[in-house]
Amino acid sequence: MSIRINQDRCIGCKRCVSVCPGSLIDINETGKARMHYPKDCWGCVSCVKECPVQAIDFYLGADMGGRGSTMNVTTEGQYIKWHIRRPDGSEETITIDRKQANSY
């Protein structure tokens, strides 16, 4: 499991660099974020949630049964929207109300 950073979207704000609990991300020569240690990712998705411009996608490694879908997050007020994009281009969004507790 790991992340990919979209270089075109990244604005170099460094939020992901700071919040990753493993400090796995750094800034490259062009001032954009780079995943320095892809094999060390815990999959906690902190960076994905903190990125202000949705430049970070996470995905499951092939060794975990991943098939190339990616996921990222947008936050709108009290709602978190999780966007899943499949390799065939189809998308699915799940919306979570942050004010609501888990049913389980």
Positions 49 through 68 that interact with other proteins (CB under 8 A): 50, 58-67
Task: State yes or no: residue 41 binds ligand SF4 (CB under 6 A).
Answer: yes
CA 19 to chain centre: 12
56 makes contact with ligand SF4 (CB under 6 A): yes
Binding mask 3-42 for other proteins (x = CB under 8 A): ---------------xxxxxx------------x-xxxxx
Report the site for other proteins in 61-100 (rule: CB under 8 A).
61-67, 69, 71, 80, 82, 84, 86, 92, 94, 96, 98-100
| Cα angle: 101, vertex 52, 99; to 5 degrees | 15
Give yes or no for a contact between 72 and 81, defined as CB atoms under 8 angstroms apart: no
Q: How far is the CB of 8 from other proteins (least distance, A)?
A: 23
